[in-house]
Amino acid sequence: MAFTRDEQDRLLLETNMLSTSHDPRMTIQENFWVVRGKPVDLECPPNGRLVTADYANGDKLRVEFIPDLTLNALASRYPDADIARWDRAQLPQELAVVEIHMRVGGTEIEFGPRETRLQGNNIMRNCFMAHCGVGVQMG
């Protein structure tokens, strides 16, 4: 998962589903989602702010764009993140949030907006990262 920018300096999401399967999986390339393989369920409501793909082996990708969150709404959405302690002077008054939930079928690996689980009972909760080159690197 990564962000790039276009010529107008807009953020563009890039992500590839992790999988133990050799079958192709959904990708997101510069904010455009491309379904590959054969998901058993695919959801994308008309507003375009959510896309979900589920595969038979348990692989899952869910990406939701939440625009125009005030700092109070952000604190309400993530109550355990202790946003009151953040340096609010460094944040804009409204934020756009992208929540990504990815599960790798047949493993313990699951990335989520409130919790991430890795192999060996390694769990990260309420971790918000900014201005970093790499948040989590595996392998």
pLDDT of residue 71: 82
Residue 108 belongs to what H/E stretch?
A: none
State how far the Cα of 134 lies from the Cα of 111, in Å rounded to an integer.
Answer: 15
Tokens encoding 52: 């979900």
Q: Considering the domain boundaries, does residue 115 fall inside one?
A: yes
**Closest C-alpha among 94, 23, 26 to residue 60:** 26
pLDDT, residue 130, reads: 67
Q: Are 27 and 33 in contact (CB under 8 A)?
A: yes
Which regions in the chain score pLDDT beneath 50? Answer: none
The residue range of the domain holding 15 is 2-125
* pTM score, whole prediction: 0.84
Is 98 within a domain?
yes
What pLDDT was estimated at residue 139? Answer: 67
The answer to whether position 61 is within a domain reads: yes
Domains contained in the chain, number: 1
pLDDT in tens, 26-61: 999 999 999 999 999 999 999 889 999 999 999 999
User: Residue 91: what pLDDT?
Assistant: 74
Domain-located, residue 72:
yes
